[in-house]
Structure 1
Amino acid sequence: MSKAPAITAYDPQPLRDRVVLITGGAQGVGRGIAQAVLGAGGSVFIGDLDEEAGQACLQEWQVGDRALFRRLDVSREADVRRWIKAALDHFGAIHGLVNNAGIADPHQGPLHKLPLETWNRYVATNLTGAFLCSKHALPSLTTAGGAIIHIASTRALQSEPDTEAYAATKGGLVALTHAMAVSAGPAVRVNAILPGWIATDEWKKPQERHHPKLSRKDHAQHPAGRVGMPEDIGALAVYLLSDASRFVTGQRFVVDGGMTIKMQYV
């Protein structure tokens, strides 16, 4: 007769001694994820186009060499290659990658008036950027037995009018997730988080930071009773980057306070 399964103690620092790279990590959801990783004991390397915001993170966090920032344009392969090299030069290994960088504005007008240049800009940043970062981080992630998270959106599942470019790229991230999970596994796990309405007003760089203006109606649209915050995404990211999720890969996780499961009648 086999022994009874043991009770395993919960690890309050599940990312201790781990290095996580986060694109678009200087503000908003990306910063929320970075702070969650730091709170879980990990180190972070954030890449962002906004150098001022990136430097503000380092100054406000005050965690020494556990945090590093470099300017990054995820749509440029040379930039990505240098960014990954800088991470390895500083930390020596990569245990996690969060592909969060993207153009956040979904509304670009009617499809028949959408310039090809605009469409290509969304694809290059929102989708190709995740491909490039994954491509160049994958060798180190494979050695470390790491994890990748793509930050997609609930707009991969539902839409408003005139949001084709944004929705298509976020849907592409969901498909990229299960394709990569099959190809990169079992060494590397790949999952996607699909945030809903996340209020990022208090997670911007200092001079743009302000309290969000949210009404009771805004909160009431959510079965959870409130609009989301970057911490909500960060908490799930920590789980997906840690060993607690070692049997989870190729999945999409909707974090939207229940909005996508609520019937809407006008």
Structure 2
Amino acid sequence: MNQEPRTVLITGGAQGIGKGIAAYLLHKGWRVVICDLDARAGQRCLEELEPTHRLLFIEADVAVEDEVKAAIRQATEWSGQLDALVNNAGIADPETGPIEELDLADWQRRLDVNLTGPFLMSKHAVPHLRKTRGSIVNMASSRAIQSEPNTEAYAATKGGIVALTHALAISLGPEIRVNAISPGWIDVRAWQVDAPAEVEPLSETDHNQHPAGRVGQPEDIASMVAYLISPEAGFMTGQNVVIDGGMTRKMIYEE
């Protein structure tokens, strides 16, 4: 008996890590909904990733509740069900300058997109995920547990994501599992909407500073997403999986 493909909604899926996740899950047979604010990048995804009519693009701002509700409604009407939600959308630039110069509006916009967005998407996806005993994956960051200077807003949002993840896991289990992934340095240059035809190779220093011997790729994150939303991860919830090539376990002292 042929089984209908499961459906995943990926926010921020039009480029970067999100696009890598979308491509990976399409290859694995999933029906994929990409929700992104960048319409041009979304159209590019439809052109590049759509071989089987299993891909839908929805333009929406995850920080605006009415747009979130409309996106969830459109996704479920298109697919008939929702089996997984990947909260990947976020303002990725971590540096916002010295704290005494950080504008409140810049701080608030990062909270709105990076933290309130996953809350709103989860809130409105939960009734559909309960029906399928689905799962949620939240994209945090290794910066939730370590920092460079002048990254307070980004670090605060990603730390909030880790806490939101275990809170949701306890509230929504056992019907819905919720986990987080904290990527380290992932080279997404080839997955951007304006990616150059040829991407300049990273240096040996870039790779060798990682205990794993290389900088990460979107597939490293996508394969973990695929596992976490699969039945094989049925005993895993409330966790934050750090995928950073070992950097957060490496002692670094100036000599």
1:126 maps onto 2:114 in alignment: yes
Find the counterpart in structure 2 of residue 154 from structure 1. Answer: 142
Unaligned runs of 5+ in 2: none
Cα distance change of structure 1 residues 197 and 207 upon mapping to structure 2, 3 Å threshold: closer
User: 1:196, 1:256 within 8 Å by CA — same for their partners in 2?
Assistant: yes
Identity of aligned residues (%): 54
1:176 maps onto 2:158 in alignment: no
1:45 maps onto 2:33 in alignment: yes
Inter-partner Cα distance in structure 1 for 2:105 and 2:194: 32
Cα distance change of structure 1 residues 179 and 109 upon mapping to structure 2, 3 Å threshold: same
How far apart are residue 211 of structure 1 and its match?
1.1
Find the counterpart in structure 2 of residue 107 from structure 1. Answer: 95
Cα distance change of structure 1 residues 133 and 212 upon mapping to structure 2, 3 Å threshold: farther
Any idea what the Cα deviations from partners look like across 1:17-75, whole Å, max 9, x if unmatched? 11000000010100111111112111100011111111111111233321000111000
Question: What SS class does the counterpart of residue 64 from structure 1 fall into?
Answer: coil
1:36 maps onto 2:27 in alignment: no
Quick one: which of 213, 217, 230 aligns to 2:205? Answer: 217
User: 2:183, 2:242 within 8 Å by CA — same for their partners in 1?
Assistant: yes
Relative to structure 2, which stretch is displaced further, 49-58 or 140-149?
Answer: 49-58
Quick one: which of 219, 224, 241 aligns to 1:253? Answer: 241
Inter-partner Cα distance in structure 1 for 2:5 and 2:131: 15
When the two chains are superposed, the root-mean-square deviation of aligned CA atoms in Å is: 1.3
1:90 maps onto 2:90 in alignment: no
Q: How many residues get paired?
A: 252
Find the counterpart in structure 1 of residue 251 from structure 2. Answer: 263
Inter-partner Cα distance in structure 2 for 1:16 and 1:244: 19
Any idea what the Cα deviations from partners look like across 1:125-178, whole Å, max 9, x if unmatched? 000000000000000001100000000000000000110000000000000000
Inter-partner Cα distance in structure 1 for 2:162 and 2:82: 23
Could you state the TM-score of these two structures normalised by the residue count of structure 2? 0.96
Question: What SS class does the counterpart of residue 22 from structure 1 fall into?
Answer: strand
User: 1:193, 1:255 within 8 Å by CA — same for their partners in 2?
Assistant: yes
1:63 maps onto 2:51 in alignment: yes
User: 1:150, 1:177 within 8 Å by CA — same for their partners in 2?
Assistant: yes
Inter-partner Cα distance in structure 2 for 1:44 and 1:63: 12
User: 2:7, 2:33 within 8 Å by CA — same for their partners in 1?
Assistant: yes
Cα distance change of structure 1 residues 150 and 209 upon mapping to structure 2, 3 Å threshold: farther
User: 2:189, 2:195 within 8 Å by CA — same for their partners in 1?
Assistant: no
Inter-partner Cα distance in structure 2 for 1:60 and 1:180: 34
Find the counterpart in structure 2 of residue 136 from structure 1. Answer: 124
Quick one: which of 188, 206, 212 aligns to 2:176? Answer: 188
Inter-partner Cα distance in structure 2 for 1:205 and 1:115: 28
Inter-partner Cα distance in structure 1 for 2:205 and 2:51: 39
Inter-partner Cα distance in structure 2 for 1:145 and 1:207: 37
How far apart are residue 201 of structure 1 and its match?
0.5
Inter-partner Cα distance in structure 2 for 1:34 and 1:99: 12
User: 2:211, 2:247 within 8 Å by CA — same for their partners in 1?
Assistant: yes
